[in-house]
């Protein structure tokens, strides 16, 4: 059976057909699902047939890693085991290639521990080389006596990728630390900042390169301070800062007092100690008054920082030797320590 939108009436009709005609094998292909109780519906179907194939079509469905037949954030190991508990189901095939992370790693381990047959099924599915294309890009780097493999895997396929490594007896640990991350956003919104902060928190990112086109955040100052509290090195580069008719758009993170925000970003309470602002298309995002404020306040900073920005108005060098900082021309750079 194929349906665009699976509803309760469809599963009721299928159960009647299964009982009336003694159906042994059921094929169900679904795009959307609006079932009141998907878990109960699946178990009722499993109680009447010996073989079920479930296909979650990708057309028209948001890329939610947990999505399958309308079930979100469920423990699919429990659902699968309950489907087998009816005593009649012998074969279950789930085709969820576009949303393969519906089965979490702990859930997969529970299935593997339930029986030898399920262990074999999980391992076979994960280890089949042509089941799903998991890796978008593979890099191999050699240095001295070591070889490093770097895999670019879409986030919705990470669980299957890790299961495949384990099934082929390749020891692996999920990467939890990513020292350097680069993100490009044409029009940056609050949702983008929230997402970036979640990535930084989850993977202990130390350096962030952020390329932006236009600012659309509701509170640019808060966005910058949130980032500064999480990372030690931040690069912000603006690209295409002009409207298609030639009108300038809001620069980088908006029309804010950049000098005050920069000093706040370097506060002792925040992690940031390296900042590079690349506004080559419109270097006047820091005003002359703001530049003067930076020059006066820079020696008062209590920690050693690195700051680089486009400040083309003055070629005068200010040497703050007691703090080992210098502001020279259009760059603010730390002076080298005397050895």
Closest among 98, 97, 120 to 108, alpha carbons compared = 120
How far is it between the farthest Cα atoms of the chain? 91
Determine the average pLDDT of the residues in 104-114. Answer: 82
Report the share of the chain in percent with pLDDT over 90.
Answer: 8
Residue 258 has pLDDT above 90, yes or no: no
Which residues does 232 contact at the CB level (< 8 Å), separation at least 6? Answer: 206, 207, 271, 272, 273, 274
Give 118 or 253, the one with higher predicted confidence. 118
Q: Please state, in angstroms and rounded to a whole number, the distance separating the CA atoms of residues 271 and 230.
A: 6
Determine the average pLDDT of the residues in 148-174. Answer: 71
pLDDT (tens digit per residue) in 278-316: 766 565 667 777 777 877 887 788 888 888 776 544 444
Tell me the whole-structure pTM to 2 decimals: 0.46
Q: What is the pLDDT of residue 85?
A: 85
Give 98 or 86, the one with higher predicted confidence. 86
Q: What is the pLDDT of residue 227?
A: 93
Confidence of residue 321 (pLDDT cuts 50, 70, 90): very low
Helix axes 220-228 and 190-203, enclosed angle (nearest 10): 10
User: What DSSP string describes 219-270?
Assistant: -HHHHHHHHHTT-SEEEEEE---B-TTSPBPPPTT-S--HHHHHHHHT-TTS
Residue 61 has pLDDT above 90, yes or no: no
Determine the average pLDDT of the residues in 189-193. Answer: 88
Which helix H or strand E contains 112, and what residues bound it? helix 105-114
Q: Please state, in angstroms and rounded to a whole number, the distance separating the CA atoms of residues 214 and 15.
A: 54
Q: Please state, in angstroms and rounded to a whole number, the distance separating the CA atoms of residues 215 and 327.
A: 28
Confidence of residue 215 (pLDDT cuts 50, 70, 90): confident
Q: What is the pLDDT of residue 271?
A: 93
Beta bridge partners of 148: 141
Would you report the helix, strand and coil content of the chain in percent, each value rounded to 5?
A: 35, 25, 35
């Amino acid at each position: 059976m194929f349906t665009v939108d699976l509803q309760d009436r469809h599963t009721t009709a299928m159960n009647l057909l299964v009982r009336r005609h003694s159906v042994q094998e059921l094929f169900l292909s679904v795009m959307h699902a609006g079932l009141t109780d998907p878990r109960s519906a699946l178990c009722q179907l499993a109680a009447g047939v010996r073989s079920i194939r479930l296909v979650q079509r990708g057309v028209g469905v948001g890329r939610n890693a947990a999505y399958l037949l309308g079930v979100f954030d469920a423990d699919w190991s429990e659902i699968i085991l309950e489907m087998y508990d009816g005593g009649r189901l012998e074969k279950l095939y789930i085709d969820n290639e576009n949303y393969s992370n519906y089965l979490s790693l702990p859930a997969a381990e529970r299935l593997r521990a339930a029986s030898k047959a399920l262990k074999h099924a999980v391992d076979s599915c994960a280890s089949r080389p042509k089941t799903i294309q998991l890796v978008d890009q593979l890099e191999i780097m050699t240095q001295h006596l070591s070889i490093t493999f770097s895999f670019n895997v879409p986030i919705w396929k990470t669980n299957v990728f890790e299961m495949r490594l384990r099934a082929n007896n390749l020891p692996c640990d999920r990467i939890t630390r990513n020292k350097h991350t680069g993100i490009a956003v044409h029009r940056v919104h609050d949702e983008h900042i929230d997402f970036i902060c979640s990535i930084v928190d989850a993977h202990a990112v130390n350096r962030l390169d952020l390329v932006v086109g236009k600012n659309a955040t509701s509170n640019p100052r808060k966005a910058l301070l949130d980032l500064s509290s999480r990372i030690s090195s931040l690069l912000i580069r603006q690209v295409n800062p002009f409207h298609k008719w030639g009108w300038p758009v809001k620069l980088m993170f908006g029309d804010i007092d950049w000098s005050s925000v920069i000093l706040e970003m370097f506060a002792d309470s925040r992690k940031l100690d390296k900042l590079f602002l690349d506004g080559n298309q419109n270097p006047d995002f820091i005003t002359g008054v703001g530049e003067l404020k930076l020059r006066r306040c820079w020696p008062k900073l209590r920690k050693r920082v690195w700051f680089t920005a486009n400040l083309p108005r003055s070629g005068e060098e200010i040497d703050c030797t007691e703090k080992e900082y210098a502001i020279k021309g259009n760059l603010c750079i730390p002076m080298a320590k005397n050895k």
